[in-house]
Structure 1
Amino acid sequence: MEAYDAPAAPALRFALLGPLRAWHGDTELALGSPQQRAVLTQLLLRRGQVVSLDDLVDGVWDEDPPTGAVPVLRTYVSRLRRLLEPDREPGHPPRTVISLGDGYALRGTGTLTSDLDAFEDHVHRAERHRAAGDHGAAAALLRTALDLWHGTALAGVPGPYARAERTRLAALRLDAEQSWLRAELELGHHGAVVPELLALRDAHPLREDVCELLMLALYRSGRQAEALDVYATARRTLVDELGIEPGPSLRALHARVLAGDDTPDPGSPDPGVQPQPHRPLTPKPSQLPADLPTFTGRRGELDQVARLLPAEGHPGAAVIALVDGMAGAGKTTLAVHWAHQVADRFPDGSLFVNLRGHDRDGAVLDPSDALTAFLVALGTAAHAVPEGLDAQAALYRSVLADRRVLIVLDNARDTEQVRPLLPGTPGCLTVVTSRNRLSGLVAGQGAHPLTLGPPTAVEAREMLARRLGAARVDAEPAAADDIVALCARLPLTLAVVAARAAHHPEFRLVDIAAELKESHGSLDAFTGGEVGTDVRAVFSWSYQALPPASAELFRRLSLHPGPDISTAAASALAGVPRGRARALLTELTGASLLTEREPGRFVFHDLLRAYATEAAEAESAGGEDGDGERGRALLRMYDHYLRTAHHAASALDPFRQMLPLPPATTDDTAPRFTDRKDATAWLRAERYVLRAVVAHAAAHGHHDHAWRTAYALDVYFNRLGFWQDLMEINAVALDAARLAGHLTGQAYALCGLGFAHAQLHHAEQALAYQERALELFEETGDALGQAHAHRALAYRANRTGAYDVALAHFARVSELYRAGHDVSGEAGVLNQVAWTYILMGEHERALERCERGIALYHGIGEAYGEASTRDTLGYALHHLGRDREAIACFEASAALFREIGDHYLEADVLRHLGTSHRAVGDPDAARTAWRRALTLLAEAGHPEADDMRASLRELDAGG
């Protein structure tokens, strides 16, 4: 497509920065079905390139195309040709949508234009003006570019291709918005941009560069205290959400503000300084773990990896460094130490992930989960991360394009796990650690391998001296050398021995060496014959020095299936009070047998987990820790997660009808939650653990715990959009409930599977699961379950436009609730029926249902349902032109949601309220409502915040 303003009178004009629209001259075109729009979207965004039939099918339907997808596509293309070339004479070849090989291309030089072309053209011109120091022209061009947006890009276009492009375009918009704000600051308009920066910060609280701009704007406006408060909030958010401190740039600005630094205002640059080319503002994650303070040695290895980096100022190609070697050799420590040394060479931040490639319980991190975490850290909203590994990897490579980021992929299992996490453009450094050689990474991606063996004897002795003090080592040189030899020079074993010696400064090194000699054996279970010294003996020596209670907890922790464990879960496993568990965990971390990854969460090194498992098995065989006690420990753990997940779900959605829990089988006291925030924080921290616990419980025969825990997680996984997680746990839950012979459990697992498949656009699978769930609920006579299934089927019917089918399901639900005297349920169905009538355009019929529902909710004091139904009533009144009455309904609904604390639904109602204020000619009231809605959506990082900003801009422009 050509530049937007090149032709004087374009024949075809497209709008992509909002709902997909098209015009032929001045006539708007009806673009047909959503799938036909998806085909047009792919042709438009490929910009004249050929799109194969396979790509078109994948882009519209992904992995679930209908039977006869290709003929259907050809029909869409034929319709598009007639639509876009209405004047083409019969028998003449197409000029716009042309056939090329096994595919199609959209051509038409000089006749096709779009708002996306205009947006990109304005942004590129702004970059040139910015580089030349003309910030006024740059700001004007960027503002014009942003005004081209009319909501979410490609709104309403289905399919994985459109979803991925929506995410990419949203990132471009965000870059442009930040560039515009930077230009305004450089012009000295500090106070004017504070409101925009506040909204942007609230929408992206983890983006340190946005916080820097906001701090600078506030500080230069004379609001130093507020600027310092921005830093304090940013630091707290980064620590709470990511467990990291702010990066050096934000810390430096904080120091300047604290000191009252009078550095020249960006609006008044030093005339002697040459303007630097503009870099789009992007998030700067800083995820590296702390460097080991006692690191020493490895000089040869550090010199070798240092040679991989190109000269300063010449980024060169993307570099992959592969550090492999046996367990305990210090691969992660070396990688993290080197990463800290070179981090300043990568101005766009650092990423770190433990891929858990050698977890004995098989809890290997899926590359999709790692990509999701990386994308969010790089500024992508969680809701905007696309489905499917390929789409996620493509977006990840796009986000990293033109950035210089340091990426550490720790503990990889194989090349296939690593490959999707590699950047696709020059300038980045990726450091991979693995026990395996990963020859595919070397051959296929040009990785530079470094096999890490034990350090030299001299370096190992230096490690010991750094931990114990040089004087102590020098006083007993022969004993120190013996310890080094007995530990096979492995950093992990040296750390364990040094921890014991440091805690007992009165012990002589010669006595410690003697203890090690007494317990020596073989190393077959851990090293595969790579070295001949017994690491197990070192662990055994340290383990046997533990007090009995700490040793017992060490063994118990080996039973836990998750990647890490909380103090509360450790308390349940050990069967001791939480305070006592914390003290025991402190003893284990002090002995270097456990690592506290973040406050209250602990991880094993792989070798230590293996040793703990062997220790537990040995104790069991010896009769001191038999299967009975192990079974009781597992049961306590399963009880802990089931009951805590149940309490969290109840807090997250207090109006959901939760299944009653069976009587407790242990005396575990599961945590309870006072509000949604605390419940969400626990669920976020335990997400991967809970997923593993469901599978672990099922594998160990605790089928009831497995399906009930999966049911409790339904609310959280639904609200956060973790559809793959929902599908995975409910597949396990279904098998578990079948083995337990629990029909209700099977039915709820089927409902969960149905919902997950529906959200992933697997319509036929979703219907089959939902209908089977209904059959089981009917078979068991479970009226609550039947109502649940009918409501799910009604929701699906409404989405497909089958309103009569939806109303029939709702009628049956009403009968079930009335028979069970469930007033809340009956009121909820009245609200859903009202909404169905609104979809049908029968707004008068909706009013009567809403009023009945509100009366029922008010009578039982259920504020949540009343708020929701008052919103529906207001919506119907608005469509009937009765906006004064609608405003009263929306205000009452918003007040109730505010009191409850549901910020998303409050924002949704405020949007409706603003629309009605606008309809009665009160733009100021509309602006107030929409600004409040924007604040709430931005605080939640919700993608709908962009739509709200667009509405406010349109209102401010007098539209």
Structure 2
Amino acid sequence: MGPPKQRALLALLLTQAGQPVAVHEILDVLWGQDPPDSAVNVVHRHVGALRRLLEPDLPTRTASRRLVRGSGGYRLDVEPDELDLLRFRALRDAAGQASEAGDPAGATELLIEALGLWRGPTATGVPPRTQAHPVFAAVDREHLAVVKEAAERALETGPGLTGRVLITLRHAAAHHQLDEVLQARLIVVLAATGHQAEALGVYQAVRSRLADELGLDPGPELRAAQQQVLRQSVPAAAPAAAPAGPRARDVSPAGDEDCPVPSGPADGTDEDLAGAENAEDGTYAPKVRPAQLPADLSAFTGRRSELARSHALLPPDEGDQPSAVVISAIGGMAGVGKTTLAVRWAHEIAHRFPDGQLYVNLRGFDPTGSVMDPAEAIRTFLDAFGVHPSRLPAGLDAQAALYRSLLAGRRVLVLLDNARDTEQVRPLLPGAPGCLAIVTSRNQLHGLIAADGARPVTLDLLTVAEAREFLARRLGADRLIEESEAAEEIIALCGRLPLALAIVSARAAVNPGFALSSIAAELRHSHGSLDAFAGGDPVTDARSVFSWSYRTLTPAAARLFRLLALHPGPCCSAAAAASLVGLREPEVRPLLAELVRAQLLTEEKPGRFASHELLRAYGSELAHAHDTKDDRAAARRRMQDHYLHTALAADTSMAPHRERFPLPPPAPGSVALTFSDAWEAADWMERERSVLLSSVEQDARYGSTGHCWRLAAILELFLDRRGRWRDQLTMQTYAVTAAQRLGDVSGQAHAHQVLGFVSGRLKRHDEAHAQLSRALELYGELNDPVGMARTHRYLAFQSNGLGRHRQALEHYRQAAEHYEEASHSSGRARIFNEVGWTYILLGEYDKALAQCRRSLALHQATGDRNGEAAAWDSLGYAHHHLREYQQALASYGHALDLYQELRDCPLVADTLVHIGDTQAALGAPVRAASAWLEALEIFDGFDHPDAEAVREKLHRLGEPSRKGSPALRV
């Protein structure tokens, strides 16, 4: 439900449901007397977020039907049956009508039903100062008034209804210990139901509390109630006149004998829990301290930080008890060890809850598919405390109230394992301080965290060290030491998932003669399949365990889960997911959220989704079983078009004048992104880099459309600038293979060309020459002058790298002829600059200046700012070698400004290196070091190979140059 103030705003609107709430009232509730200047804007932002939560399918810029802005403020419209507060008020009003009609039993029934809707103080989960605001306190007073009225009406009815009211009355009295009218009602009702001694005990407790905390004597209501008990003038609850209809049935709740006094001791000595025999029906509630925790796992491994965080939820002094109910929500994907951790923690702290430990498997995700109803769970808990079935009140609300009353004033641990959702859990939560509820679920229980204050503990995969310890505890440390490499491979192939490790270690343990290397080989050969993780029963079979989460999904989310297995990984964006299923981004986001809640996906960063390899394998199996081959191919095509066309948009933003080739139109349903500037485009490229490389590899293996070589061609400049030369080599190798398989000569030519260039970067000069020669041959077959020109430029680059500068000039001459043939002015401008650079290497600086100036003028005429920056940098390099250092710095300054404007970080760093060189030549070592350190920080950020050369410059200068070293202080 968002941040605290957003939750408080929602609570405020709900308390005033259907009525406009003025903005100034909202500001008063959220900030008090001194709201910040931005308060109104913050309110607008929270309103927008709430509208998206309440109406996720509402189209953009469409008026909300729920959260409406009017002249009087904001109004939240809800139906009477959608909000428990409205239902509560309706039942209260109906009770008043029944009372006026002379039906006290009917009125009491309605009041009890209303009280059963109460879940605790209003606005729980918002900051205490906000929760104390009068608007929320007024709602709490409504509840308290109904409790008092129900007690008064109950005295006019039969013992069954009086007993049911007594449960709620005790609970309310425990939370409002200084409310004399409420305590007086409790005393009278206790006496009326035959609990005179307890009634007098309550009076003495309240009298002491008033004296100790307020320095006051009991008021007239309390004194009158005591006198009624002492004089035995409290009438026994009269039998109720049986009205017509379903209320005529006999109800015999366990509230009177089985419920403890809320303020009673936690040592288990009071008589209420001990039970008493009923002479009429022989029922008996024995004195029981349930100890239902499952056995702890002797081979429990790791999770030290998670256990420490869990222990921190309780007061450090074991003699203290929490001031409120503590709820811990342990979450994580299937098989990650939620129950194991919960049981271990529960055993470690069981001694702090001497009145009992309750456990139930709620079967939220179970092989039988039968989710446990909360009423069934409550009945098992009441049975654990010895409450006879014949004494159970009717209805879930009444049974839940009895359960909470049994726990009030006691210290009980409740472990709710394998929960489906918040609604299943909420009736099972204790209501009074001193108790701890531990909840485990594969679903993210956002409601429990937001509304009930649960503290989340999310389990991740084991670390490698924990996984190693996991295997050692099961197989023996000696066996792991003897076959350490095989053990490490097993850990990697199991993805550090405890369930997978348990299945594999069990196989190794029952077959001690099997070498771990042979088991690792089995896993390796079945990678991409779950066959190696099949256990002997459903709870130890990965495929079965995953299926319990999958079958809870809506059909649309289930389809998305299956098709996500086609994604190359490791992370998938919302746009890529939308492309896979052929939806728009706003339509796919709720489906992604559903998968995240079900722990079938994790949102590792905002908008970036990933899943465990074994879950991907499960999704792939499902896709092949449920989706046709054509459906899978269409989904993969839409996804690949998303990456291809988005990468083209990014590359165009970063280098608008670069030579490009046309792309086929994207498939219908594919989402292509656009970018506002080069910085945003480069950020997307870097964020998606590993996915893009995997997409090239995937299409090389399975594709038939040319996505592989086209995407590789688009990524060429980005990877080269960032020094990702080995990635480039791998990607272009896939590209040339895929293009050969398709018989695509243009794709082969481009891939050979880039392979030649990157081979030269890696000093593989023979291979570079062979690849570029093949590219030149293929471009000749295609009669592509631009392709031949670019290949000659790359050959010139290789020649310069080998010191063959005259040979480089010949290649540039041929490149210029091809560009002239194609009327390619941008290419000719680049030739001038690169020829100028070659003249610098030859020591012919005047010729270099002339060529670079021609390049600069042509780039400025065509508006190519990348080319203009490169020409300025070359001019600076020429001036440097002419020892015209100030002119060099001025030229570098122009280049640096342009590269920074273009957000071209690698070339910013390259220019900074040149500036540092010139400052060093000027005898300014501090300024030189400053420029080099700035360049080094950029290069290190990309893990660029040129960083080592800069680090060597700094080393020679005597400045710190290690990674992570502080910047030079000038």
Shorter-chain TM-score bucket reads: 0.3 to 0.5
Name the larger-Rg structure.
Answer: 2
TM-score by length of 1: 0.45
Which fold has the larger relative contact order, with Cα–Cα distance below 8 Å and residues 6 or more apart in sequence? 1
